[in-house]
């Protein structure tokens, strides 16, 4: 998976944004790190950290290192405005995906 590339198209603030990312670090079962090769950011590194929650589930934590064009001050002022809505939407979609009823392998095999 390391070196694997992926494309994402999103819309934010009414603008279509295309991303090209690459997986740069994979340490199952607890860590995935991607970096953007093409994005609206000067720099983007996104770490996905997974750990057992002690109740049979999993806690996912996102760590983002990012810089917008224009440098440090622009990034310090604008990143919270950009990342807040982006991750609220992403977390809502993740919760909905995991909450959806899906057939298990066992159910599929017996059908």
Q: Is 84 left (phi over 0), alpha (psi -120 to 50) or beta?
A: alpha
Look up the domain containing 95 and give its range: 5-100
Q: Does residue 18 belong to any structural domain of this protein?
A: yes
Q: Does residue 12 belong to any structural domain of this protein?
A: yes
Q: Does residue 72 belong to any structural domain of this protein?
A: yes
Q: Does residue 106 belong to any structural domain of this protein?
A: no
Confidence category of residue 106, pLDDT binned at 50, 70, 90 = low
Q: Does residue 73 belong to any structural domain of this protein?
A: yes
Residue 19 contacts residue 37 (beta carbons within 8 Å): no
Domain count, the chain: 1
Confidence category of residue 35, pLDDT binned at 50, 70, 90 = very high
Question: Is the entire prediction scored with pTM above 0.85?
Answer: no
Q: Does residue 81 belong to any structural domain of this protein?
A: yes
Confidence category of residue 61, pLDDT binned at 50, 70, 90 = very high
Q: Does residue 109 belong to any structural domain of this protein?
A: no
User: At CA 8, angle to CA 105 and CA 70, rounded to 5?
Assistant: 145
Q: Does residue 111 belong to any structural domain of this protein?
A: no
């Amino acid at each position: 998976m390391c070196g694997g590339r992926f494309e994402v198209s999103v819309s934010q603030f009414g603008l279509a944004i295309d991303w090209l990312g690459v997986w740069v670090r994979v340490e199952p079962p607890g860590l995935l790190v991607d970096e953007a090769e093409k994005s609206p950011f000067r720099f983007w590194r996104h770490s996905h950290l997974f750990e057992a929650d002690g109740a049979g589930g999993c806690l996912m934590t996102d760590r983002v290192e990012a810089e917008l064009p224009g440098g440090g001050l622009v990034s310090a002022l604008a990143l919270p405005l950009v990342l807040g809505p982006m991750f609220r939407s992403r977390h809502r979609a993740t919760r909905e995906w995991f909450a959806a009823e899906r057939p298990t392998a066992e159910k599929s095999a017996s059908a």
